[in-house]
Amino acid sequence: MDGVVILEGEVRELIRRRGLDPVRDRPGIVALVADAMADYDERSVIGSVPVLPDPAAAHKAVVDAVAGLGPLQKYLDDPEVEEIWINSPSQVFVARRGEAELTTTMLTDAQVRDLVEQMLKASGRRLDLSSPFVDASLPGGERVHAVIPDVTRRHWSVNIRKYVVRASGLDEIVALGSLTPHAATFLAAAVRTGLNVLVSGATQAGKTTMLNALAGSIGPRERIVSCEEVFELRLAARDWVAMQCRQASLEGTGEIPLRRLVKEALRMRPSRLIVGEVREAEALDLLIALNAGIPAMCTIHANSAREALTKLCTLPLLAGENVSDRFVVPTVASAVDLVVHLDHDAAGRRTVREIVAVPGRVEQGVVETADLFVTRGDRLVRADGFPPHAERFARLGIDLAALLRARD
């Protein structure tokens, strides 16, 4: 038997006997493996167990197996890997700099099941025939989504999305080349004045990173309440309450959807509300919060800034038959102030494609917009539009016309 396999089995037995938690006590596991290796080396000298040819590699392999994600841990540790997904045990893919590649990692069905079970331990979420989908977070902040048969054809499907760049401010977005300094200066001022911002884009366009960076411009004395399906935001705020959704129990009770979180957030005295992503009827509760005068930011999947507004006008209709577009459309026009749309090209480069203002007018059932910044060629440049609520900028001593004056 391979020496690493023997050592791993001995370490797992020690963990069981001592009642250690590999997920929450990684330093303790690292020390335990080191002690176990020292004992193993003594026995290998007299030939009772196979010699470990590479002790450092053996130590890492055992720690990864018992306290990490085993054969997937090297991809979690690789800063260039943005996402890992498993289509079948023999098909493990990763995305590097936006490009997908098939890895050489080969698993078994049992390994995939064990890995998913290990991922879900810290979150307390479950995956079974009655609940074949699961969305959870790893201790390191990575987001996990898994689906099991018979929803999938044969094999378990697993996605692990990493957040390689956790920008805490717009200056970091500028440094990455995703935003121009001029546009960043305007967005920072818009957030400080309390404009409501909608961040749109496709999957993996960097919406959460942008939302995190925008939140970095919120004043230090403001109270932030965030609502997400799973924890993703990493704010450097002093007064911040983060909430996430909860799945139903085995009895079908105890579920906390995003709509409930948004409603509860309004009772927590927020001066800023951040909603990770609106997908369904929670859009109505978000609009109600915005209409109550609470500055907010959120993300939405869309192909352009204007399509994002159209989608936000449609999603609240899912809340019930008594919700009509006669209420929703003008509410969107008056509640949303800015739309920041992101995109990524074939090479995986993420950029802000346009920044659109919403003046608050509706024409023939369509929300009017004004272009603030648009992409010409491959550069974001100033257009001729102006944002609403110029008086808010003036109250902070900001000359809006000078701030937006073309510098490109």
Question: pTM of the predicted model, to two decimals?
Answer: 0.84
* Half-sphere exposure (Cβ direction) of 158: Cα atoms closer than 13 Å: 31
Return the bridge partners of 92, or none: 86
* Residue 327: alpha-carbon gap to chain centroid: 31
Write down the pLDDT at residue 333.
95
Clarify whether residues 93 and 217 are in a common domain.
no
- Say yes or no: 384 and 322 in one domain: yes
Chosen domain end from 131, 161, 191: 161
Q: Which of 303, 368, 377, 314 is nearest to 341 (CA)?
A: 303
| Same-domain check for residues 236 and 279 | yes
Domain count, the chain: 3
Q: Which of 161, 190, 218 delimits the end of a domain?
A: 161
Start-end of H helices in 122-247: 170-175, 181-193, 207-215
CATH of the domain at 218: 3.40.50.300
8 A C-beta contact, residue 254 and residue 248 = yes
Name the residue range of residue 103's domain. 73-161
Rounded to whole angstroms, the Cα distance separating 355 from 357 reads 7
Mean pLDDT by runs of 10 across the 408 residues of the chain is 84 88 83 91 88 89 88 91 94 88 95 90 79 85 90 95 78 93 97 97 90 95 94 91 86 86 93 94 91 92 96 94 90 96 82 96 94 93 95 95 81
Please give the pLDDT value at position 45.
87
One domain, residues 218 and 232: yes
Tokens of 398: 């900001």
Do residues 158 and 113 touch, judged by C-beta distance below 8 A? no
Task: Tell me: do 96 and 54 sit in the same domain.
Answer: no
Look up the CATH number of the domain holding residue 85: 3.30.450.90
- The answer on 218 and 122 residing in a single domain is no
pLDDT (0 to 100) of residue 168: 86
Of the candidates 132, 161, 190, which is a domain's last residue? 161
304 closest CA partner among 208, 205, 221, 190: 205
* Cα distances (Å, whole numbers) of residue 182 to 32, 83, 345, 396: 53, 31, 22, 19
